[in-house]
A = this chain, B = another copy of it.
Amino acid sequence: MAESTSEAERDPGAREREATVPVPGAAAGGPISHAIFRLARLHRMFAGQLLRRIGLHPGQELVMMHLWELGPQRQIDLVRLLDSDAATMTRTVRRLEQAGFVRRRPSPTDKRASLIEPTAASYALRREVERIWIQLEDISATGFSDDERADALAVLERLEQNLVRADARPPEPDTGH
């Protein structure tokens, strides 16, 4: 069943390597899931390349955008806004703080919490970040009409909602066995 074992070395690199999916069918698994996986990695990498020029990493720009938009927030608020994780937010905020983009101020009403606020220096980045997101959007949706953009967004959100719902629902005790 593994008769193609030695093929990999007999013919290194002379394969077709068309675009991204040289595999006919079986190893592709769920095609939609696989597409989500690849799209996400590409998208993230692309965002990373754009963001690194201004000293941010993917994910950090979302925190900053919410802070610029909404003003000082507790970490837990940012976590909920971004659907993120408390541990991740602790480290992200610390790195943003070390980079000089946010400042922590103890909450006057809750000794557990601190308020995260953007620094004056950070506002110099705001236009750049917004420009990058517009660029990302334009590149992602190159060649899409307005209708197709709306359609794409609807598809993405529908997929997301399916996962949100399934996530809320516990892993289903047993399929019946």
Contact = CB atoms under 8 A, between A and B. Distances in A.
Contacts of A83: 20, 38, 41-42
A75 B73 CA distance: 45
A143 interface: yes
A40 B39 contact: yes
Interface in A138-161: 139-144, 149, 151-153, 155-161
Contacts of A32: 137, 140-141, 149, 152-153, 156
Q: Is the interface of A mostly helix, strand, loop or mixed?
A: helix
Contacts of A86: none
A115 interface: yes
Range class of the A interface residue count: 35 or more
A16 to B, nearest CB: 11
Contact of A109 (B12, B107, B164): B12
A47 B33 contact: yes
Given A37-B62, A39-B156, 18 more contacts: A8-B70, A8-B73, A8-B77, A9-B113, A22-B81, A23-B66, A23-B69, A27-B69, A32-B137, A35-B156, A36-B156, A38-B83, A39-B160, A39-B163, A42-B83, A139-B163, A152-B158, A155-B156
